A and B are shown apart, each in its own frame.
Chain A
């Protein structure tokens, strides 16, 4: 059913339609509305889940770890410092192969303390073993949540759905909300093979010596790499079930464009408008295109290489920074295309700590494309 909702409410209603059994969270701006709305859905009798108030994000992540290990679909949401406080648990959840789904309302990291959007939080925990998906619009973010539960439980891997804090959590727009019944046709009940049960006493979270740890970690890596195929398949299934597209990457603009901008999240909307305006007056070969990245883990290397194969300039717009080197998405794109494409990959850092990214700034980058430094900061 189409509704006009705040992004956070839309996520809460979608998560509720995915029938979680346990929700636990700790409030942090700009995630708060999501968990408030879930609490309200429960209070109104519209949610069939246990809501456990946690005294910290560390506890919230540990609570959903415990409930998921007891065989119940579990969900949490956080942002920024909260995600960092969860770090130890995030690695643990992935290592224990518990298919928890989390929303991260992407926000800058302190210091200085800053509640506004960038993507530094999630990029800081990129090695935790979670699958990481980035939505551009509220609709896409909602749809990625439904996919996330399906994929997570199929692969025994946790999934983090990312959306830009405030930009998407607090925006009000029309969005298609799937009901529990509709989602149930796509997402079956959670049926884990193993869970904590006195009738079948199993040990979870054993420690591994050097004799076993290595292979267990390699297996986690291999399974994340191999998750590309089942995710692609589930995206097709999603389209069949709900009629909307979900993609790992999306190419926008002229396929022959020599300059391709790469980015993740809500900034893509601004970028598309900016290049539409630029392209209007340009010859085909001078036109600009955009490669949108939805799946950051697993990273769709082959798709990215194919989309950038004919580009001469690749400019990655990053809302995060591996201090002292470059944007994190940039490093990822460079790794994926290394030795496989002819273009130079340049990096533009934008939007840190909620700095507005305007169409003019995007246009300026494109105009300056030949004189961009390897890592260029564009804040004005």
Chain B
């Protein structure tokens, strides 16, 4: 394997099996390139692991470990302890990578434990708002009214009845020195955030909005467009906190309605069929409006 020379400088290489247009794999490549080769990554189970490391192949050119769905934050704690023991503390970037299922749901206890310990790693959550790897089931990150295979719309349902869990607030409640969202539609901002986070000692959290082509029911060439509309509508604010203080928000350059963001996605298609759908869309618009107000996203 050591004879193999990648034609590209990527740390996440071609040959992985992610879908065409996969938002997660775009984010993963950007995160790794921003972190650089002097990086160790601990990865949760999920698309980000399954598409990249089918034995005996691997897409990664950094030391990378996967153990289970819920435990990469704990793995990172062990890796950091081992580096400390070897006198190599702070010499290597430590990344933890996982989807929203691993982060918002099954791994949240491990993450909370590691954050409480003040572990020096950057946790990156690829947020595509459901368990896409297992076939689009709803997760703690699934937004109101989304059609997932466990929150299907029907005569008596308009999809997910629950609100998206606010992981950003949970991160802030742990007094993390760095908490931010990013969006695959804005790669320069994403890279800058990874680089900035890695200059800060202690636990960092970066939640990246990553559309899922089959899970959201969009075309492969719509990934960045839909991700951009999430920001433009106020549905998914692009924000950054340092030491608990909101230091940066991405203002909305071209304002659109939530309806425009929802419309191209099959997971919200049922909201456009009848009057009750309009009521639901109004609820989602209200959530976006509150984001715009609370984070000051309006350009004016």
Contacts and interface: CB of A to CB of B under 8 A. Distances in A.
Interface of A: 21-22, 24, 49-50, 52-56, 58-60, 62-72, 74, 88-89, 92, 96, 196-198, 200-209, 212
A96 B84 CA distance: 23
B67 A52 contact: no
A34 B219 CA distance: 57
B53 interface: yes
A94 B50 CA distance: 20
Contacts of A65: 67, 71, 74-75, 78
B53 A54 contact: no
Contact of B110 (A21, A59, A202): A59
Given A55-B112, A89-B67, A89-B71, A198 B40 contact: yes
B164 interface: no
A64 B39 contact: no
B53 A70 contact: no
Contact of A55 (B55, B56, B82, B109): B109
B66 interface: yes
Contact of A198 (B38, B86, B117): B38
Nearest to B91: A198
Nearest to A198: B38
A18 B293 CA distance: 59
Given A66-B79, A67-B78, 15 more contacts: A21-B81, A22-B85, A54-B74, A62-B75, A67-B79, A69-B65, A70-B40, A74-B78, A96-B67, A198-B63, A203-B64, A204-B65, A205-B53, A206-B53, A207-B54
Contacts of B76: 66
Interface in B40-82: 40, 42-43, 49-50, 53-58, 60-68, 70-71, 74-79, 81-82
A204 B70 CA distance: 16
Nearest to A59: B74
A55 B109 CA distance: 8
Nearest to A96: B67
B149 interface: no
B39 A53 contact: no
B82 A66 contact: yes
Contacts of B57: 206
Nearest to A63: B78
Contacts, number: 160
16 contacts: A21-B82, A22-B81, A50-B84, A55-B112, A55-B116, A58-B70, A62-B67, A62-B75, A66-B42, A196-B63, A198-B63, A200-B63, A205-B49, A206-B57, A207-B50, A207-B55
Interface residues of B, number: 44
B105 interface: no
Contacts of B62: 198, 201
B92 to A, nearest CB: 6
* Leading 4 A-B pairs by shortest Cβ distance: A66-B78, A55-B113, A70-B82, A62-B74
Contacts of A197: 63
A203 B49 CA distance: 11
A212 B54 CA distance: 10
B260 interface: no
B82 A67 contact: yes
B290 interface: no
Given A88-B68, A89-B68, A212-B56, A70 B78 contact: yes
Nearest to A98: B67
Contacts of B38: 198
Interface string B27-38: 000000000011
Contact of A66 (B39, B77, B84, B86): B77
B279 interface: no
Contacts of A22: 78, 81-82, 85
B58 A203 contact: yes
Nearest to B41: A196
A60 B78 CA distance: 9
B54 A66 contact: no
A256 B198 CA distance: 71
A24 B110 CA distance: 14
Contact of A62 (B58, B61, B71): B71
Contacts of B43: 205
Given A64-B78, A206-B66, A50 B85 contact: yes
B20 interface: no
Which of A22, A24, A96, A209 lies at the interface centre, i.e. has the most chain B CB atoms within 10 A of its CB?
Answer: A22
B246 interface: no
Nearest to A200: B63
B64 A72 contact: no
Given A65-B75, A72-B85, A209-B55, A59 B113 contact: yes
B83 interface: yes
Contact of A52 (B55, B64, B117): B117
A208 B57 CA distance: 10
A267 B240 CA distance: 61
Contacts of B64: 201-204
Given A49-B85, A207-B54, A63 B63 contact: no
Contacts of B42: 66
Nearest to B53: A206
A207 B55 CA distance: 6
Contacts of A203: 53, 58, 60, 64-65
Contacts of A196: 40, 63, 65, 79
A70 B116 CA distance: 22
Nearest to B71: A62
A208 B68 contact: no
A50 B84 CA distance: 8
Given A50-B81, A70-B82, A204-B64, A62 B56 contact: no
Interface string B107-132: 00110110011000000000000000
B68 A92 contact: yes
Contacts of B54: 206-209
A50 B55 CA distance: 32
A324 B78 CA distance: 40
Contacts of B116: 55
Contacts of A204: 63-66
Contacts of B117: 52-53
